[in-house]
Amino acid sequence: MAEVKRICGDKPAMRISSVDHITSDLKSENDPSEITFQCATPVVEQPVQPAPVAVAAVPVPVVAPAPVRHAPQRKITLQGDATFAVGSATLTPVATAKLDDFIAANQGVDIERMTIAGYTDSTGSAELNNRLSAARARSVQSYLATAGLRASKWDVEGYGSASPVAPNTTAIGRAKNRSVELQVDGK
C-alpha cells in the first residue's frame, strides 16, 4: 500500500481489486502482492435539475355535469308463490317490492305503451284460469298506476295457462307459471 501512496501522491487511491497470496481476507491493513487501483477522486454524478419553467394558468370552464338518466327497465317478470298464491290475484309483499324497484327505474321515462300479461298454471278450468290471469294483470296495473307510473297506453291481458314457462307437472313448475310479465315501450 505504501507504493500506491507514493504513486498517487496527494490524490486518494481507490482500490479496484487486489490479490494477497499469503492471507485470504482483504483487510485494509494487508499489504497485497498485487493491486489494481485508481488515483483520483471518483466522479460522483449529480443529478441534473431541470430549470423551472413558468406555465401560464389556463382557465378551465366549469361545466355543470349532465343529469344522470338511467336506462329504463324494459321488462320484468313476477312469478312464483312469492308473487301470487294459488287461486289469488293479490300481490304479495315480495311482488310489491319488485314493482317498487321497477317504478323507481322508470321514473321520468316517457312510456308510450305498458304491456302487462297475466298467466296461471294449468290447475283449474280454462274459464277460471282466464279470469284469474286477467285479474292478476289488472292487479299489477292498479298498483303501478296508484304508485304514479304513467303510460300513454296500457295493454292489460290475461292468457290463462297458455304459454307455460315450465312444466305444470311439478309444484315448482306450476309456481313459475303463475306469473305476470311487464313490458315497457318508450323513450
Between CA 127 and CA 60 the distance in angstroms is: 69
Q: What is the CATH number of domain 75-186?
A: 3.30.1330.60
Type of residue at 44 = V
Q: By mean pLDDT, which of 49-53, 125-129, 174-178 is the weakest?
A: 49-53
pLDDT, average across residues 133-138:
95
- The mean of the pLDDT values for the chain is 80
Q: State the pLDDT confidence band at 106, using cuts at 50, 70 and 90.
A: confident
Distance linking the first and last C-alpha atoms of the chain? 92
Q: State the pLDDT confidence band at 60, using cuts at 50, 70 and 90.
A: low
Grid cell 497470496 in the structure block, residue: 21
* Of 52 and 154, the one with more pLDDT: 154
* Of 16 and 86, the one with more pLDDT: 86
Query: Is 92 within 8 Å of 85 (Cβ atoms)?
Result: yes
- % of the chain exceeding 90 in pLDDT: 35
Whether the model clears a pTM of 0.85, i.e. scores above it, the answer is no
Q: By mean pLDDT, which of 15-24, 55-64, 148-157, 172-181 is the weakest?
A: 15-24
DSSP assignment, residue 130?
H
Residues contacting residue 158 through CB under 8 Å, at least 6 positions apart: 117, 118, 119, 130, 131, 132, 133, 134, 135, 136, 137
Q: What are the residue ranges spanned by the domains of the chain?
A: 2-39, 75-186
Between CA 132 and CA 137 the distance in angstroms is: 9
Q: State the pLDDT confidence band at 47, using cuts at 50, 70 and 90.
A: low
The sheet with strand 151-158 has its strands ordered as: 75-79, 179-186, 111-118, 151-158
Q: State the pLDDT confidence band at 173, using cuts at 50, 70 and 90.
A: very high
Note the pLDDT tens digit of each residue in 88-97.
Answer: 899 989 999 9
Q: State the pLDDT confidence band at 73, using cuts at 50, 70 and 90.
A: low
Query: Is 95 within 8 Å of 179 (Cβ atoms)?
Result: no
Residue 135 has pLDDT above 90, yes or no: yes
- The predicted pLDDT at position 168 comes to 92
pLDDT, average across residues 50-57:
67
